[in-house]
Structure 1
Amino acid sequence: MKFLIIIPAHNEEDNLSFTLNSLQQQSFKDYKIVVVNDGSTDQTSEIIKKYTDQDSRFETINLQKSAHQPGSKVVNAFKNGLKTQNINEFDIICKFDADIILPENYLEIIEKSFQNNPKNGLIGGLLYIEKNGEWIYEGNSNKHHVRGPMKAYRKECFIEIGGLRETLGWDNIDSILLENLGWKEVVLPELQVKLIKVKGADYTVKESDYYGRYFYFLGLKRFLAYVASSKEAMKSKSIPFFFQIIKSYENCRSKKLELKITKDEQKIINDKRWEALKKKWLRI
């Protein structure tokens, strides 16, 4: 199977070489990499050139500078990279971040998993961060969800879900839609991916606004959005935090901001959330 790996990169001069080196050192070699230089103002383009000059599997495109917002910017960059390729020439479509280090057998194990189970639609490893000189599990999500920095889709699954949505919450929307279509999301815990940079460091949105917007663009109806907001408030042990999230969510509703999902897809997402709520909270 052949991989198409697209890597959005914005001001990643401190991290990108680690990512690209780890890809060059993969035991599995049949891949093409497109690095999307998304309006970088540092030495990112020079770093990319070192790889495109010496390795024909590496390509790049340059985009104009855009606002750095969670979700939409990175997916926009990904889509611009995808447009430059003939998707029919590949079997696996990957969206990787520019600040991760992959184990040498990452692509090999992913490819075998796709080969062994034709219903596997999305595969990835687990994220690890450095703390006190040690790499520890990031723990920011359940161990059955493939995180945004390291998504690998079977091409047929990727096409069937309509690709990635240019919105906050895209990396949960894909999981719900593919599962509804009968595909499987698989996390391989033996594949430990090192995350160099702390997520969110470049975002200009404050945390409560982030969650409010996230729940809105995920398509959650009011009741489920309020439940999700209360969960985040309990994590923070802050009642005001709950009301701040709700304020952000309701502000999006009042403005009727455009969702990047259809009405049918919104219903699927809410039904799945409701099922999870009943199972975990109500024990039904």
Structure 2
Amino acid sequence: MRFLIIIPAHNEENNLSFTLDSLQQQSFKEFKVVVVNDGSTDRTEEIIKKYVDTDSRFETVNLQKSSHQPGSKVVNAFKNGLNTQNLDEFDIICKFDADIILPENYLETIRNSFQNNPEYGLVGGLLYVEKDESWIYEGNSNKHHVRGPMKAYRKESFTQMGGLRETLGWDNIDSILLENLGWKEVVLSELQVKLIKVKGTDYTIKPAEYYGRYFYFLGLNRFLAYIASSKEAAKSKSISFFFTIIKSYESCRSKKLELKISKQEQKIINDQRWKALKKKWLKM
């Protein structure tokens, strides 16, 4: 099985070399890396060139500075890299961030997992962040969800779901669509991936306006969006947080901002959310 690894990078001069070094040190060698330089103004392009010039498995794509919104920006860069490749040459498609360090057996373990489990469509490890000079589990998601910085898709599953969506919430939309198609998303907890840009876990706190936009672009109907908003407000222990989320969500609705998912996909997402809600809260 051969890997195609796409890495969007914007001003990652302090982190990118760690990511690319960890790829060169992988026990499994059958991969190609495409680093998409998304309008960097620092030394990112220079760093990429060092790997491209010395290792034929590395390529680069240079983009002008992206004006896309958060969420869509990284997927737009990813797609630009993907479009330069012949997917017939690959079996596994990866979207990695430019600020992670992979354990040496990462690709080999992912490859073995796909080979031994034909129902697996999306596989990844767990993210760890540095805190008080130790690496601890990030804890920003449940341990059954592959986080955005280290996604590995079986090519067939990736193609069936129509690739990634250029929108906020893309890394949850993919999971739901894959599940609906019958593919399994699997987290291999023994694979500990270091997220090097972050110190501690405070970065996981998002402003209320973010959640309003996120719930809208995820395609949630009003009822489910309000339920999700109350959950986030409870975490922050703030009633005003709830109303700010709702204001942001309703603003998106009133403007009728374009969704990057179809009506059918929106129904799939809402049905899945409703099923999860009944299972967790209503014990149904």
TM-score by length of 2: 0.97
Match of 2:32 in 1: 32
Match of 1:216 in 2: 216
Match of 2:181 in 1: 181
Using the alignment, how far apart are the partners of 1:88 and 1:250 within structure 2? Answer: 43
1:126 is aligned to 2:126: yes
Q: CA deviation at 1:114?
A: 0.2
Using the alignment, how far apart are the partners of 2:232 and 2:68 within structure 1? Answer: 24
* Local SS of the residue matching 1:198: strand
Match of 2:19 in 1: 19
1:109 is aligned to 2:109: yes
Unpaired segments of 5 or more residues in structure 1? none
Match of 1:157 in 2: 157
Match of 1:58 in 2: 58
Using the alignment, how far apart are the partners of 1:244 and 1:252 within structure 2? Answer: 13
* Local SS of the residue matching 2:219: coil
Q: Deviations over 1:232-253 (max 9, x none)?
A: 0000011000000000000000
1:197 is aligned to 2:180: no
1:241 is aligned to 2:209: no
> How many residue pairs were aligned?
280
Amino acid at match of 2:60: T
The answer as to whether partners of 2:8 and 2:77 remain within 8 angstroms in 1 is yes
The answer as to whether partners of 2:130 and 2:198 remain within 8 angstroms in 1 is no
* Local SS of the residue matching 2:146: coil
Using the alignment, how far apart are the partners of 2:9 and 2:43 within structure 1? Answer: 11
Match of 1:97 in 2: 97
Match of 2:8 in 1: 8
Q: Deviations over 1:148-186 (max 9, x none)?
A: 000000000000000000000000000000000000000
1:82 is aligned to 2:82: yes
Amino acid at match of 2:72: S
1:71 is aligned to 2:71: yes
Using the alignment, how far apart are the partners of 1:68 and 1:50 within structure 2? Answer: 28
Match of 1:148 in 2: 148
Percent identity over the alignment?
A: 84
Match of 1:167 in 2: 167
Q: CA deviation at 1:277?
A: 0.4
Q: CA deviation at 1:68?
A: 6.2
Using the alignment, how far apart are the partners of 1:139 and 1:89 within structure 2? Answer: 35
Match of 2:255 in 1: 255
* Local SS of the residue matching 2:197: coil
Match of 1:138 in 2: 138
Q: CA deviation at 1:70?
A: 2.0
Q: CA deviation at 1:197?
A: 1.6
Using the alignment, how far apart are the partners of 2:47 and 2:68 within structure 1? Answer: 21
Q: CA deviation at 1:84?
A: 0.4
* Local SS of the residue matching 1:65: coil
Q: Deviations over 1:174-211 (max 9, x none)?
A: 00000000000000000000001239x9x9xx711110
* Local SS of the residue matching 1:79: helix
Amino acid at match of 2:169: G
Using the alignment, how far apart are the partners of 1:80 and 1:58 within structure 2? Answer: 15
Match of 2:274 in 1: 274
Amino acid at match of 2:117: N
C-alpha RMSD of matched pairs (Å): 1.3
Divergent runs of 4+, >3 A: none
Using the alignment, how far apart are the partners of 1:180 and 1:197 within structure 2? Answer: 34
Q: CA deviation at 1:261?
A: 0.5
Using the alignment, how far apart are the partners of 1:149 and 1:209 within structure 2? Answer: 23
Using the alignment, how far apart are the partners of 2:185 and 2:24 within structure 1? Answer: 26
Using the alignment, how far apart are the partners of 1:148 and 1:198 within structure 2? Answer: 15
Amino acid at match of 1:252: C
Using the alignment, how far apart are the partners of 2:186 and 2:5 within structure 1? Answer: 18
